[in-house]
Amino acid sequence: MTTFDYDLFVIGGGSGGVRAARVAAATGAKVGLAEESRMGGTCVIRGCVPKKLMVFASGYREMFDDARAYGWDLDDGAFDWSRFQGRLHSELDRLEGIYRKLLSNSGVTIHDSRAVLEDAHTVRLADGQTKTARHILVATGGRPVRPDMPNAHLGLTSNDIFDLKVLPKSILIVGGGYIACEFAGILNGLGVQVTQYYRGAQILRGFDDEARGLVAEAMRDKGVALHLGTNIVEMRSASDAPAAPGMGTPMNSQASGTEATPAANPGGGIWIKSTNGMEQVFDQVLFATGRQPNTDGMGLEAVGVKIGRRGEVLVDEYSQTSVPSIHAVGDVTNRVQLTPVAIREGMAFVETVFKGNPTPVDHKLIPSAVFTQPELGAVGLTEEEAREQEPIDVYCTSFKPMQHAFAGRTDRVLMKLIVSKATRVVLGCHIVADNAGEMIQLVGIAVKMGATKEDFDRTVAVHPTMAEELVTMRDPVRSA
């Protein structure tokens, strides 16, 4: 009988890998884990956690105006990036320490090293050591990528934002997905002059059209210069840019071409020529144009693991690759790129492999939130998807919430339910509002259980709240 160093060796110390390692170790398995960077992965170190803390920080600017409307006598404060950044990194250090402690307390052996595959049961560490394992779990996540264009190296990716020495006065954000839109709102809230280019017709592709339209409108109202159907034609260091009309005058306006303001950094920065004809200089450019699975140079294909066209590890419903002893979970599989999904995949892997309980991963009806300002929460089908599937009723309302109406703000809320005509089951729910992420988590339970519109109707409203509208909408606004 073959003897292995470990029962399980996990490559990657992000949320999915750490959870799988801990749960497997709790079954009595001998587990090793290798992480070449910082423990906690994208979510804790370069993604969800620092981003959400920045969302919190950026929201305080509007609170000064709101507080005065509610009778508080106070002046606007000034945002200190260096002070916030210091606290931010201290918190990330604390969280990384917790991850390490959780692993150690679970009996997992940590290898602070890059690991690559030698064969179906062997990994090689960066120092040349090899470790064997009965099972190998690849949980190396993904990374942001820059577009393939000249001078793209001048631009930042989302990984770089948290380490900026100085907060820029102006920035161009390229992309229309949730990462691009979240950082547009964050940086705008922190006082940065934000311009956003997206080549598509509307931001947040894949979300409900009505919901994403309201988010785009709110972003513009708050000062983000959002240009749709627009992309970069050329970018250079400003010192190498050709003299041209409009150079050095980034515009903090919508695509209508209103009065321009002076460049934030006329002696440096990045010169951009865009498809809408504008030539501008920005302090920084942020590319939020896609992410790629971390599979390069890992020896996966050499040992027989099949890789997809986007570099993702191909797996079955049990997260098993084409090599029976090798599994993969999380963003490296490019299934659903969300931290809670990676954790669920890791737990299902342990149930299947170490507990003898074959458990397929359930990717249906996953609630999600986009931390724009206001937030967008969604679960289930969009109106567009649902009407292609079956006849539906759409229940929808939009209004100014009490808190903002009193303060004189223009922010609007959207509450929307997509309902099957035949079964009356709620097929989807879409919310645009402050704290929509908190609301959609709870609505997600009902939708996952197969609640009908009548189940919502039977629920007594909590008044006065925004969320009460979800149970008080009696008549559909349209059918399709």
Active site members: 463
Place of tokens 């040349």: 128
* Cβ partners under 8 Å of residue 245, min gap 6: 279
Measured CA to CA, the distance from residue 265 to residue 238 in angstroms comes to 9
Single-letter code of the amino acid located at 469: E
Total residue length of the chain: 480
Q: How far apart are CA 437 and CA 374, in angstroms?
A: 10
| 33 and 345 Cβ atoms separated by less than 8 Å | no
* Other Cβ atoms within 10 Å of 91 Cβ, number: 14
Residue 223, both tokens: 């000062």
In which residue are the tokens 């930042």 written? 156
Angle value at C-alpha 339, between 337 and 345, nearest 5 degrees: 85
3-state helix, strand and coil shares in percent for the chain, rounded to the nearest 5: 35, 25, 45
User: What distance in Å separates the CA atoms of residue 286 and residue 276, rounded to the nearest whole number?
Assistant: 18
Chain mean position to CA 352: 28
SS3 assignment, position 271: strand
Residue 82, exposed/middle/buried by CB under 10 A (0-12, 13-18, 19+)?
Answer: exposed
Pairing label, strands 225-228, 193-198: parallel
Residue 82, classed as helix, strand or coil, is helix
Q: Would you say 137 and 20 are in contact if contact means Cβ atoms under 8 Å apart?
A: yes
> How far is the first Cα of the chain from the last one, in angstroms, to the nearest whole number?
63
Closest to 135 (Cα-Cα) out of 339, 336, 329: 329
- Calpha distance 227→225 (Å, rounded): 6
Residue 184's contacts (CB-CB under 8 Å, 6 or more residues apart) are: 173, 194, 196, 219, 224, 226, 372
